[in-house]
Amino acid sequence: MAVLQELDALAPIREKVEAGERLDFEDGLTLMETDDLLALGELADLARRLRGGNDDVYFVQNINLYQTNVCRVKCKFCAFARTNKQEDAFTLTADEFVEDAVKQYEVSKFTEIHTVNGENPHVGLEYYVELIRKLKAALPDVHLKFYTASEIHHMSKLEDCTHEEVLSALKDAGLGSMPGGGAEIFADRVRRLVAPGKEPAEEWFDVHDKAHRLGITTQCTMLYGHVETYEERIDHMLRLREQQDKTGGFLSFIPLAFHPENTVFERRGFRFTTGADDLKVIAVARLVLDNIPHVKAYWIMMGLPMAQLALHFGANDVQGTVMREKIFQAAGATSGTEQKIEELVRFIREAGRTPVQRDSLYNELRRW
């Protein structure tokens, strides 16, 4: 009887998916509340294919580098940030950063540098512009995916200027695109609890809106598995979908499972999300976010075996080689800090999919 009730609950949603109709808030909540994980995954994979998806699974050869871990904000979920007085705080000069990047490039020939930082109150906009300019001169063929919306907002506050002015200066210096961090959960209730002092959701959206209108593509994220409700997860996704309707600048959605280790949440008894919840979020994202083409199964967060499963729950991207990732490692991730291309190809193939190496804008570089 329970199985029949579950099928009945998902049947109207399946009809909408097959008809190409957009899902609403109640649909999203029904999907989040379902216990039939396999039916949910099958429905998400169906939606992916009906919207033009095939067996291709993307990855990029990238490296994570960091300018500074000094941060003014005390986000309760963060194990990366430091104050300027702490022993392991760092703020690299442009020349130090570029020297390290060039050395790494000589070894691995990555096509993308992914950089996020703390909101350092001791350096201004020119610090970031100088680094982008020098880095682009040193590595002209490498795509620079730098700075979250929170960092852009922080720079604008320091300089007493607009988000658009900050983004224009960075773009002129060589900025290629932006990551999606800082979104956390958009609900005010959650932001007050987990990230007091961080900008409201409206500022995050304004930064991405301005970036898209300047021709800067971005990613979008959701940090889940802490104090948010199912309703707040769906609200978050619907707000992203609405923004995408306006500007179309989001290339991908990356669900980020909360890692409590080395944060105040660990002391309060929080634990890592379950694999079932990780798969559910990816599947629901694929179903609800009908206008964002790519959903990532971020292997460094969920591990390779779970990422393989996620490729059958609506995901079509596994991020990349992700050399030298520090933020999730600081919060207890145990999946390593790098994957070789050969290993990514192998695990995508073993999932029954076709590995495609891409650049940062989803242009195909190589297919296996």
User: Which residues, given as ranges, of the chain have pLDDT below 50?
Assistant: 1, 266, 325-337
pLDDT tens-digit readout, 130-162: 999 999 999 999 999 999 999 999 999 999 999
The domain segmentation of the chain, as residue ranges, is 54-367
Token digits of residue 328: 């999730």
Task: Kindly give the residue spans of alpha helices, DSSP state H, lying in 116-229.
Answer: 125-138, 149-159, 163-173, 188-194, 201-213
DSSP assignment of 52-108 equals T--SEEEEE-EEE--SB-B-S---TT-SS-B-TTSTT--B--HHHHHHHHHHHHHHH
Q: What is the pLDDT of residue 332?
A: 41
Question: DSSP secondary-structure letter at 311?
Answer: T
Contact by Cβ (8 Å): 6, 35:
yes
- Predicted TM-score (pTM) of the model is 0.91
54-367: CATH, from 3.30.420.40, 3.40.50.720, 3.20.20.70, 3.40.50.300: 3.20.20.70
Rg (CA), the chain: 20
Q: What is the pLDDT of residue 325?
A: 44
The answer for residues whose C-beta is within 8 angstroms of residue 337's C-beta and 6 or more apart is 300, 322, 323, 324, 325, 326, 329
Strand order in the sheet with 294-295: 218-224, 250-257, 294-295
Calpha distance 320→323 (Å, rounded) = 9
